[in-house]
Structure 1
Amino acid sequence: MTEAAVLIDPVPAMDSEAAVVHPVGIEMVHRSRPEDAFPQNWVRLGHDRFSVEALLPHDHPFFAPVAEDRHDPLLVAEAMRQAAMLAFHAGYGVPLGHHFLMADLEYVCHPEHLAVGGGPTAIDVEVYCSDLKWRGGLPAQGRVGWAVHRGGRLAATGTGATRFTTPKAYRRIRQDVPTEGISIPRTAPVPASRAGRTRAEDVVLSETGRDGVWGLRVDTRHPTLFQRPNDHVPGMLLLEAARQAACLVAGGGGMVPAEASTRFHRYAEFGSPCWIRAVVLPESAGDTVTLRVTGNQDGKPVFSTLLSGPLVRA
Structure 2
Amino acid sequence: MPEAAVLIEPVPAMESEAEVVHPVGIDMVHRTRPEDAFPRNWVRLGHDRFSVAAVLPHDHPFFAPVGGDRHDPLLVAEAMRQAAMLAFHAGYGVPLGHHFLMADLDYVCHPEHLGVGGAPAEVDVEVFCSDLKWRSGLPVQGRVGWAVYRDGRLAATGTGATRFTSPQVYRRMRGEVPAEGISIPRSAPVPTARAGRTRAQDVVLSPTARGGVWELRVDTRHPTLFQRPNDHVPGMLLLEAARQAACLVAGSGGILPMEASTRFHRYAEFGSPCSIGAVVLPHATGDTVAVQVTGHQDGEPVFSTVMSGPRAEA
User: Following the alignment from structure 2 to structure 1, what is the Cα–Cα distance between the partners of residues 283 and 48?
Assistant: 37
Q: Give the letter aligned to residue 310 of structure 1.
A: P
- 2:164 maps to 164
In structure 2, the gaps of 5 or more residues are 1-14
Q: Aligned partners of 1:216, 1:275: CA distance in 2, in Å?
A: 6
> How many residues were matched structurally?
300
Secondary structure, in 3 states, of the residue corresponding to 1:156? strand
Task: Quote the residue 2:193 is aligned against.
Answer: 193
Tell me by how many angstroms 1:276 deviates.
Answer: 0.1
Structure 1 runs of 4+ off > 4 angstroms? none
Q: Following the alignment from structure 2 to structure 1, what is the Cα–Cα distance between the partners of residues 115 and 31?
A: 25
**Offset of residue 283 of structure 1:** 2.8
- Once residues 218 and 200 of structure 1 are traced to their aligned partners in structure 2, the CA distance between those partners, rounded to angstroms, is 13
> Which amino acid in structure 2 is aligned with residue 206 of structure 1?
S
Matched, 1:245 2:266: no
Pair 1:222 & 2:219 matched: no
Structure 1 residue 313 displacement after superposition = 1.6
**TM-score between the two structures when normalised by the length of structure 1:** 0.95
Matches within 5 A, 1:1-314: 16-314=16-314
Deviations 1:25-58 (CA, angstroms, capped at 9, x unpaired): 1000000000000000000000000000000000
Cα deviation digits, residues 164-207 of structure 1 (max 9, x gap): 00000000110010000000000000011000000000000000
Distance 1:18 1:92 in 2: 18
Which amino acid in 2 is paired with 1:78?
E
Counterpart amino acid of 1:167?
Answer: P
Report the CA distance between 1:19 and its aligned residue. Answer: 1.1
Q: Deviations over 1:231-277 (max 9, x none)?
A: 00000000000000000001211110000000000000000000000
- Using the TM superposition, give the Cα deviation of residue 117 of structure 1 relative to its aligned residue in structure 2, in angstroms: 2.0
Q: Distance in 2 between matches of 1:263 and 1:41?
A: 29
Percent of pairs identical after alignment?
82
Cα distance in 2, alignment partners of residues 252 and 183 from structure 1: 31
CA distance in 2, matches of 1:91, 1:263: 26
Residue 194 of structure 1 aligns to a residue in which SS?
helix
1:125 deviation in Å? 0.1
Distance (whole Å) between structure 1 residues aligned to residue 270 and residue 100 of structure 2: 19
- Distance, in Å, in 2 between the alignment partners of 1:19 and 1:44 is 7
1:310 and 1:118 mapped to 2: Cα distance? 22
| Deviation of the 1:310 alpha carbon | 0.3
| Cross-structure match for 2:4 | none
Q: Distance in 2 between matches of 1:119 and 1:259?
A: 24
> Residue type matched to 1:259 in 2?
E
User: 2: CA distance between counterparts of 1:287 and 1:260?
Assistant: 17
Query: What is the rounded CA distance, in whole Å, between the counterparts of 2:246 and 2:118 in structure 1?
Result: 29
**What is the CA distance between 1:279 and its match in structure 2?**
0.2
